Structure 1
Amino acid sequence: MTRRQLTDKEWGYVEPYLPIGEYGPYPKKLREQFEGVIWKFRSGAQWREMPAEFGAWPTVYNRFRQWRDAGVFENLLEGLIAKAAERGEVDLSLVSVDSTTARAHHDAAGMRLD
């Protein structure tokens, strides 16, 4: 799979949401690590198959886990939606909420009535 890099404009949206701790990551490596996470999920490959251009795969994986646990991806999504709404680019007619309730047989839950 070919690598698709983030444009500078896209990175400008993403970067403010990524925390930088006292001891890392180095800001210059932050972008390549984030792109490594994107590569992993776009390609469907295993972490160990990550090209070296993104850095060591255990480092990128650990960074992903830190971001996931800190809620970075949820905050990023909400922030991008808010920016799109400011520009009038959010179309709520595309939102769909569906709920279905189906009663299951009592044996389906492992309950036996003898």
Structure 2
Amino acid sequence: MVKPLGEVRKRSGVKCKVTEWHERTGTPVPARVAASEWPVVEELMTTYFACRQFARGTVDIRTQLNGALHRLRTGCLWGELPEGYGPWQLAKERQNAWFRKGFWPVLVEGLNRRGAATPVRREPQVPPLEVTVTVASESVKHDTRSTL
């Protein structure tokens, strides 16, 4: 008998390219970006996004960035992102767009210069399992061959 010892987490089956990049390159995940640090990030963004295409929305960009970083540090699923980071779909779209444009590695490198970075965390899809084996007591002939 096999019994899960924790929650079985359902993933979509689509691997996160950003998480994989962090794992493959060994690039740690930056700490939270404070409001006082945001002007430096905005200046860096202007070299990649001339028309400030990400400036609009109900949730500010720094909050969404911090949500994406939180997800990478904790290993939570996008749908488990705390509400304080705004709708998880927006943070996910922004992170993926930045990664596609090549901005994510530049951003992370710049933020990691501050220190306090942590390794990316990916939660296992299957929790620890308790396996119980019962062996039936039967008479076994010793002269029979087994392929095991």
Please state which band the TM-score falls in when normalised by the shorter chain.
0.5 to 0.7
Q: In the aligned structure 2, how far is the partner of 1:58 from the partner of 1:27? A: 13
Correspondence 1:68 to 2:95 = no
TM-score by length of 2: 0.43
Q: In the aligned structure 1, how far is the partner of 2:111 from the partner of 2:69? A: 16
Match of 1:46 in 2: 77
Provide the alpha-carbon RMSD of the alignment.
3.0
Match of 2:66 in 1: 35
Tell me the amino acid that sits aligned with residue 34 of structure 2: T
How many residue pairs were aligned? 79
Q: In the aligned structure 1, how far is the partner of 2:38 from the partner of 2:75? A: 22
Q: In the aligned structure 2, how far is the partner of 1:54 from the partner of 1:69? A: 22
Q: 1:51 to 1:28 in 2, by over 3 A?
A: closer
Tell me the amino acid that sits aligned with residue 42 of structure 2: E
Rg: which structure is higher?
2
Classify the secondary structure of the residue corresponding to 1:45.
Answer: coil
Counterparts of 1:95-110 in structure 2, within 5 Å, are none
Compare the two structures and name the one with the higher helix fraction: 1
Conservation of the 8 A alpha-carbon contact between 1:35 and 1:54? yes
Shift of 1:5: 4.1
The share of aligned pairs that are identical, in percent, is: 27
Whose relative contact order is higher, 1 or 2, with alpha carbons under 8 Å and at least 6 apart?
2
Unpaired segments ≥5 residues, structure 2: 1-30, 115-148
Shift of 1:74: 2.3
Classify the secondary structure of the residue corresponding to 2:33.
Answer: coil
Q: In the aligned structure 2, how far is the partner of 1:79 from the partner of 1:6? A: 11
Tell me the amino acid that sits aligned with residue 76 of structure 1: L
Q: 1:25 to 1:66 in 2, by over 3 A?
A: farther
Conservation of the 8 A alpha-carbon contact between 2:32 and 2:69? no
Conservation of the 8 A alpha-carbon contact between 1:36 and 1:50? yes
Q: 1:80 to 1:62 in 2, by over 3 A?
A: closer
Unpaired segments ≥5 residues, structure 1: 85-114
Q: Which runs of 4+ in 1 moved over 3 A?
A: 23-28, 77-81
